[in-house]
Amino acid sequence: MAGPWERYQGQEGPWQRYATTPEAAPDPYSDTYFAQGTSGLNEGIGGMLGAPVDLMNSAIGLGMKGVNAIAGTDLKPSDKPFLGSRYINEAMGDVGAIQPPTQDRGKQVLRRVAQSVGSSVVPAMGAAGGAVAPLKTAAGILAPALAGGGAAAASQQILPGNQTAETMAELVASLGTAGAQSYLRQRAADQAARATVPTVDELKAQAGSLYDEAEKTGVTANRTQTFKLHQKMRNIASSEGLISPTGRVSNAYPKASEALRMTEDYSKGTMTVPQMKAVRKTLSDAANSADGSEGRIASKMLEEFDDFSSRLAPPLEKAKGIYHSAMKGKKLEQVKELAGSRAGQFSGSGYENALRTEYRGLERNMIKGNERGWTDAEKAAVSKVAQGTTGANIARGVGKLAPTGAVSYGVTAGVPFAIGNTIGGPMLGGAAALGTGLTGFAGRGIATKMGLNAAEQAELLVRNQGLLPKGLLDPDTYRILTGVLATNAANSANHRPR
């Protein structure tokens, strides 16, 4: 196995002057862990600082190759451009900041890891400068560099002199670490953002407190106002067939009928805020009726009542919007519960199919005008669940490869087995069948997860009064990823095969 002196022979770098005399033993200090570690750190910093010049020099070299091919000349770019990485590192070597390489394996590993960490220092400082969480952002760039340097050092020891393997090991380890930590940061940010969105019960409590606030002002609806309210309620009931030609209120929809009778009782006098609150609760219960027709009629009556009450006092106007958000949130929760109860009816597609089916019903009601008060953004969120995104639909199609019954097993497992068996025997056939089945189950899992995520976003949207909560994307994530990519680009350039 070639030692480090032999490997560095002929390679560009600050160690080149030392590599010409391998028989000369390094002085005691240069072979210490501290000296080797700081040398690697400085090499990495110099490599990053000189990377822009190196890239420009490489571009010039490509241009020269083109000219040489056309004109037959022999133009070559500088092998040590001013302020390039080699220029900077040799300058640091001249002042003792970079020592010759060591033959000790442990110190070699330390030096190589330090090189990658040094390359990440400049991007980490730049990203931390304008970050929301500077220290976490800097650590988010340094950690992948440390992992990449460790992988590169291991590759260097296992495959001495193979810089392609070294570069690939560093890329895979650093980008894998960056991806994992970005996922964890993003999940934490999502959870924190979702925690700021009130639940349905919390929205009801907020609206209720606004009614209490309005009560303190002494707001009261006079008899003229309550009479007009009842007439509007009666017109809605009549147009929906809740009142017969003789004036009798049908008992087919008991909750809606009770709400109508309450408004009739109050139409003969004034109505205080506590009484408005009681009427609204009755209407709200009717709007949430399991009977879809009754719920639709009561929802129209409730909307009319909220218009009536919100004009009486500013707190009631605000309470109206909060109550509407709570009602829509409750509606989506019920849709999800219904999907859960129906999931068993879809043996092949399960919960994801049931969720889409329930959301399609809600989407149709919106199109027909039976669901009122939904914003365009909320309707789009519902449609996203009902129709699925491009990614979810692709995953759903892949999920059909999962063998969930006798017929599907024969197609998704039997056919691949037969083909594989014909080509390479039973082992290949079994592997093909297993691979197809696992791919199908993975597709189903991804489609279900994406459907649930879309449904959760719809719920968050309606409970947050038409807006997705801020913070669903960690503001420093892009800074970290950019810094990691910059570090890897510099490392790849500095350790590319010569």
Read off the pLDDT of residues 171-221 as tens digits, 9 standing for 90 and up.
Answer: 888 888 888 887 787 777 777 777 888 999 999 899 889 888 888 888 899
Per-residue confidence (pLDDT) for residue 472, from 0 to 100: 58
Q: How far apart are CA 460 and CA 193, in angstroms?
A: 10
Per-residue confidence (pLDDT) for residue 351, from 0 to 100: 78
- Find out whether 14 and 98 touch, Cβ atoms under 8 Å: yes
Percent of the chain with pLDDT over 90: 7
Per-residue confidence (pLDDT) for residue 21, from 0 to 100: 47
Please state at what angle helix 223-239 crosses helix 254-266, rounded to 10 degrees: 150
Question: What is the tens place of the pLDDT at every residue in 396-445?
Answer: 777 766 666 554 555 566 666 666 667 667 776 666 666 666 677 777 77
pTM to 2 decimal places: 0.55
Question: Position of tokens 């004036």?
Answer: 247
For residue 140, give both structure tokens.
């988010």
Q: How far is CA 157 from CA 103, 107, 150, 210, in A?
A: 11, 11, 11, 70
- Residues of the chain whose pLDDT is less than 70? 1-27, 344-349, 400-421, 423-424, 428-438, 469-475, 492-498
Per-residue confidence (pLDDT) for residue 413, from 0 to 100: 60
Per-residue confidence (pLDDT) for residue 300, from 0 to 100: 87
Per-residue confidence (pLDDT) for residue 9, from 0 to 100: 45
The helix, strand and coil proportions of the chain, stated in percent and rounded to the nearest 5, come to 75, 0, 25
- Find out whether 80 and 46 touch, Cβ atoms under 8 Å: no
